[in-house]
Amino acid sequence: MSNQAPNHIKYLLATKAIDFLNDAFKIILMQSGFVYNKDTHALYTDVIGNELATGNGYTQGAKALAGVAVTEDDVDDRCEVLWSNVTWTAVGGAIGPASGAIIYDDTVANDPIVGYLDFGADYTQPDGGTATIIAPEIRIS
């Protein structure tokens, strides 16, 4: 799984608008065929039309992230922001297909995107199963 941070995040960090240790972050799943653009996808409203629809155990814009850890990586010259595992349980039908996930800051006005996780393929969680993203992470360089 690859990940990308939008260009807009650099501005938000420089202006102290985002506080990774104290803000509330959410994660959403993106429909098959979604193509992330780090230049134009700056806010949740920029991508909401490509989010999976609510149903079968998935609710648009509702999954909160917890357990954040922020580290400095001097070997790879970047900052890494990591959260605890996040899960969705498919109930009454499948969840997906999803091609990736967007993480956004729900505390800051207009819900800025802080990262995109590209799954590298489409994934569907069958009814009764649990979809898990293990340690969602964004890297800022």
pLDDT tens readout for residues 23-70: 999 999 999 999 999 999 999 999 999 999 999 999 999 999 999 999
pTM score, whole prediction: 0.94
Distance of alpha carbon 28 from alpha carbon 59, whole angstroms: 9
Residue 80 domain boundaries: 2-140
* Sign of the dihedral through C-alpha 52, 119, 101, 134: positive
pLDDT of residue 124: 97
Tokens of 59: 């609710």
Q: Tell me how crowded residue 27 is: count the other CB atoms within 10 A of its CB.
A: 20
Burial class (CB in 10 A: 0-12, 13-18, 19+), 62: exposed
Q: What is the pLDDT of residues 113-133, one digit of tens each?
A: 999 999 999 999 999 999 999
Q: How many domains does the chain have?
A: 1
pLDDT of residue 2: 67
